Amino acid sequence: MSEKKRIAVLGATGSIGKSSLDIISRDKDNFEIVLLSSHQSRQKLDNLKDQFPSAVSCLTSEENGTEKLLSAISDIKPDITINGISGAAGLKPSLAAIEAGSHLALANKETIVMAGQLVMGLAKEKKVNIIPVDSEHSAIFHLLKFFTEETHTDARRHEENKESLISEVILTASGGPFRNYTLQQMEKVTVQDALAHPTWNMGPKITIDSASMANKGLEIIEACVFFNLAPDKIKVVIHPQSIVHSMIRLCNGVIYAQLSKPDMRHPIHDAIYWPVTTPSTLEPVSFDSLTLEFIKPDIVKFPMLNLAWEAAKKGALYPNVYNAANEIAVAAFLEQKIRFLDIPKITEHVLQKDWSANNLELESILDTDKNARLIAKKYIE
């Protein structure tokens, strides 16, 4: 790289934010942090500001904090924006980054689930790349690179054939802490039980989503949008070791997989250097005493999976509603207002309304998000 890449890290105080700052700090010759954001962790943000004095910082819980962040993105125009904000709050900053012509290294899956069509359309128009950071999608994205660019001379024609080339995308899931629980046992689990993820160390919302498999549900929808594939082509397999991050089965029946340690710094590294594959100092997978298992998911114990496939098939505003209802249910579970198994019940209740209106403009997406949350809250009460 000749000039330093100017990077924004949104959600800098979170789990993805911390991993991003670690990766960027390893290569100060090539990267410079120009913008940092957090929501309410003022002290942590101030500490980061001391570490990266040339970066602008935004605390979004402050009055007009979100607006300030959005204008900072559009003024600064980072080369790359890493979006590690949790939840629906990540959508507007993603759009602001794309509008500003910044490439987006996207961990905030809600951006794609809520507004896939809008976001992908805008990225195309503004000629910016959206590189997935979610480990499964990162795996598929980089696997596909080998079939669309490097091994094929006529890449463009190959891209057009993607639909017939890929027969399945297979997302792996750790199965979370309740993989071996019976439904009866799952009725009684506590917040603490659900927060104890066996392989990944992540923020609280996504950790609960991993326990209910809503995280995989969101990722099913995310994969349909990112790779422009029908929901039927997205499969899920439980892989408790979280070493295989996802697989693609091509039309010849052969499966290709991506393996690395369960460490989000891998997909972050790959996203910020994309399209170049560069050496990393992260610990590689060792095959000494490694056993890999693959198990069919139990769709009765984890109804959030089928709800996601249905929402993806129905399209329109259903994916957005799946996300909004689940966010409200997870917040209520974290506040101990509902039981763990109420999460899918609440989500299903909200999805049963008619969300087939096909207006996928930002205003309609945000209105729907609000309505779905209100319905979920009313149902909880």
Q: Which of 20, 38, 210, 368 binds ligand NDP (CB under 6 A)?
A: 38
Task: Decide which of Mg ion, ligand NDP, none touches 319; Cβ closer than 5 to 8 Å per partner kind.
Answer: none
**Residue 134 touching Mg ion (CB under 5 A):** yes
CB of 150 to ligand NDP, least distance (A): 26
Min dist CB 44 to ligand NDP, Å, is: 6
The 259-298 contact track toward ligand NDP, x by CB under 6 A, reads -----x----------------------------------
**Coil/strand/helix, residue 263:** coil
- Judged by DSSP in three states, 170 sits in strand
Site for ligand NDP in 303-362 (CB under 6 A): none
Per CB under 5 A, 209 contacts Mg ion: no
Position closest to ligand NDP via CB: 14
The amino acid at residue 47 is N
Q: How far is the CB of 31 from Mg ion (least distance, A)?
A: 24
The distance of closest approach from Cβ of residue 61 to Mg ion in the complex, given in angstroms and rounded to an integer, is: 26
Phi, psi angle pair for 128, to nearest 5°: -110, 155
Could you say which DSSP state residue 171 is in? Answer: E
Counting contacts by CB under 5 A, is residue 270 touching Mg ion?
Answer: no
Q: How far apart are CA 75 and CA 89, in angstroms?
A: 20
Burial of 145 (0-12, 13-18, 19+ CB in 10 A): middle
User: Which is nearest to 206 in space by CA: 10, 214, 299, 266?
Assistant: 214
| Residue 155 or 195 with smaller CB distance to ligand NDP | 195
Output the smallest distance, CB 136 to Mg ion, in A.
5
Residue 25, φ and ψ in degrees, nearest 5: -65, -20
Amino acid at 358: N
The C-alpha atoms of residue 175 and residue 211 are separated, in whole angstroms, by 7
Positions that interact with Mg ion (CB under 5 A): 134-136
